[in-house]
Each structure stands twice: as C-alpha cells, then as structure tokens.
A and B are shown apart, each in its own frame.
Chain A
Amino acid sequence: MPVINVEDLTDKDKALMEVNQLKVEVKLERWLTSKCCEEIKDYIQAGVEEDTLVKGIAEDKNPFKEKGGCVIC
C-alpha cells in the first residue's frame, strides 16, 4: 500500500482530493432524523435501568469502594 505523504501534496492535489471525496459523499442515502433520533432514544432507554452510573450501586457490590478497617498480620 503506497504511503501518501501529506506534506508532498500540492494545493491542487488537495483540492482534487476534496472534490473526489465530496463526489463520494453526495451519493450517500440519508435517513430521516426523526426516525434516527427515535431509535437512539429507544436504544438508550432500553439500557438505562441496568446502567450503574445512572442508577447507582449497593455498597457491598461496589468493586471500587475503599476497603476500610485494620488488618492484623
């Protein structure tokens, strides 16, 4: 795979690269934002009840809690 060194590209090369990229992107099929946002919302809400950072965690189940008390060796 040839390595394209960006520093070697002329302004014209860069302009061509941009045009070619835009030609690719203009063809994209775009979905309705209402449908997409609805799906994102549904997806998030489906997981929110099990989301520890939203719901909290019981002290005895918390893996990060500081372990207190003294240890006698």
Chain B
Amino acid sequence: MAAEKAEMDKLKKECDALRTQIEAARKAVNDGSMSASAGGVAGLGRIQLKLRKNLKGHLAKIYAMHWSADSRQMVSASQDGKLLIWDTFTGNKLVAVPLKSAWVMSVAFAPSGNLVASGGLDNICTVYNIKAASPKTLRELDAHTGYLSCCRFLSDTEILTASGDTTCCLWDLETGKQKTVFTNHIGDCMSLALSPDMNTFISGACDSLAKLWDLREGACKQTFSGHTSDINAIAFFQNGHAIITGSDDCSCKMYDLRSDQEVITYQDPSLNAGVTSVALSNSGRLIFAGYDDFNCHIWDSLKGEKIGVLSGHDNRVSCTGVPNDGMGVCTGSWDSFLKLWN
C-alpha cells in the first residue's frame, strides 16, 4: 500500500513539474493578446439579424441540428424520437426518420448528402441512408459505453463520434467497426469539431479541457485549459489555426493552435447562463453562441464584444449552425422550434 502511494506521489510530482514547464513555455511566447492585434480594426456596430423562418414540426425539445453541405437542407433531432430533414428555402419537411431510441443528443449530415447519423443515451451511433425510398438504417455503431454526445462524418465511409464514456472514436462505415479510439480525457466528451483539412479534430469534455487529436496517428497532440466547467461546443476557424469553445462556465474562448493557448475570452457579467452551442460566420468575425438563457448572443470575435442577440425562443437554445455558404444562421431550441436568421 505504501509503495503504491509512493509511486502515485512520484507520478503526481512529475505531472506538476511538466505542467509548470508547459505553462512557462506558453508564457514565454505570450508577447501580445488579440486586443492588441485587433486594436486598429473598426468595430462593427450592432448586428441586427431578422427572423426569416420559424420551422415547426418537432413535438419535443430539439437537441441538435446540422446543415447539409449544400447549404439548403438541414437535419434536426428531437427527443420526440424523430430526425427531420428540412428544405430551409421553402420551410418544407423532406424526410422524417423515426428513431429506435428517442433520447437523441446529436445529429450529423454526411458531406455527400446521402447519409445522416444520430445517437444519444442509447450509446449507439446509427447511420441512415436518406436517399432510399424510405429512410433505411445502414449501420448501428455500438461500442461506446457511454452516451453519444456528438458525431461528424468525414465521408460516406468514415464517421467520428464523441461519447460520455470519455473517448472519441473513428469508425469505418464499410465494416461497422472502430478504426481508432481516442483516449485521454478524464471527463465525458461533449463535443467535437473536425479541422478543415480533416487531418485533426478537437474534442471538448466535462474535464474542462479541449484536446487536439491527429486523426491518423490516434494521438492527442495538444491540450487547452482555461475553462472552469464542461466544454459543450467547439468550432474551427476555416484557416484551421484557431478554435472557439463554449462552456457551462458561461464563457466562450478562442484558442490559437500554434501558440498553444487562449488568446481571448468572450464573457459578460450580465450573462450567467451556460453556452450550449457555437457557430462562426464565414469570415470568422461573428460568433453565434447559444445559451441556456433562451438567446443566441452574437460576439465580435476580434474585439471580444457582444454586438447582437437572436431572441425569440421560449426555452434554452440547444444548437446553432451556419451553412457552408454563410448565408444565414439556424438556432434550435428546447421550445421545439428551429429559427433561421440573416
């Protein structure tokens, strides 16, 4: 017993020493913040977007939504036990996918538009072919030992999942088997975002950390700390060099990957609600963050200022998304509605 404790103490000491070294290395390169670089950038003034569509159809809380790569179709998931695929230009529902388990937490559209995937408290990621005459279950990816919090397709043959069992997993859809398991978080994984070049991804977890992983090596390359509670949402900047995170600690942060640290925090003393979702406008200048306070607040990513709000939902905003063409933003809520704004 004493030998075990001595060994644990030795390991803990080693961890502390390494962490101190890493903090020192980060400090050493921290020669200027985002406020300094963005000092000369003109402010945007107030951003006022109009509600263009109110999509009614779900009968219970909406937990997730994801745009199709065509910037027109969108899939939403509700605990009424259905996935709905919408034509956002007309507001029509195109396809309804009945779920085996109503406790859905995540949904994804494949880049091809042929497949959608969902999962939740059933611990399973189910992939559906929505181009068939009626939606057909293609695969049930069943190996996680915790809930499925997030899923994203790389292609029609590969999908990435994040789970409450603290791992993320890359699956081969042709065999239905796990290709790589990403283990390093010590808390439930809540979110993931693929890098634009698809070589890496970032995961956010209940251990308050965001981790950068190499998809092919299966290894964790970098760890970003600073949040003081669960990281529920992540988005990558299109240049692949920075990420935005949203957390239950009521703040969002921008982390720069090459300097390996936080460069700006988005928080407001009047905002005492957790962040559930984040999305970026096409240039990256605007951050749309969904909060538990029923609103989606708009932040100027460079200036760190709150410059707008999307109000109208009657319950928590659970999901937010901007399509590839950047023409609008969609918010989904526990009030069972999806709203489109621009």
Contact = CB atoms under 8 A, between A and B. Distances in A.
B79 interface: no
Contacts of B220: 21, 24
Contacts of B155: none
Interface string A35-73: 011111101111110111110010000111110000000
A28 B260 CA distance: 8
B44 interface: yes
Contact of A1 (B8, B181, B241): B181
A48 B284 CA distance: 8
B22 A26 contact: yes
B34 A32 contact: no
Interface stretch (B121-129, B228-236, B270-278, B324-332): B324-332
A57 to B, nearest CB: 6
A38 B34 CA distance: 8
B180 to A, nearest CB: 6
Given A1-B178, A12-B4, A51-B285, A32 B32 contact: yes
A3 to B, nearest CB: 6
Interface string B2-13: 001001100110
Nearest to A40: B242
Contacts of A25: 18, 22, 221-223
Interface residues of A, number: 49
A37 B283 contact: no
A15 B219 contact: no
Interface of B: 4, 7-8, 11-12, 14-15, 18-19, 21-22, 25-26, 28-34, 36-38, 41, 44, 47, 49, 52-53, 72, 88-89, 143, 145, 165-167, 178-181, 183-184, 186, 218-223, 237-239, 241-242, 254, 256, 258-261, 263, 281-286, 301-302, 322, 326-329, 340, 342
B237 A40 contact: yes
A36 B167 contact: no
A32 B33 CA distance: 10
B255 to A, nearest CB: 10
Contacts of A28: 25, 221-222, 260
A50 B172 CA distance: 37
A38 B286 CA distance: 17
A18 B15 contact: yes
B89 A64 contact: yes
Given A19-B11, A63-B89, A53 B37 contact: no
Contacts of B178: 1, 3
A34 B15 contact: no
B69 to A, nearest CB: 15
Contacts of A15: 8, 11-12, 15
12 contacts: A3-B143, A5-B165, A12-B11, A21-B223, A26-B21, A40-B241, A40-B254, A43-B241, A45-B41, A48-B283, A64-B89, A64-B340
Contacts of A26: 18, 21-22, 25
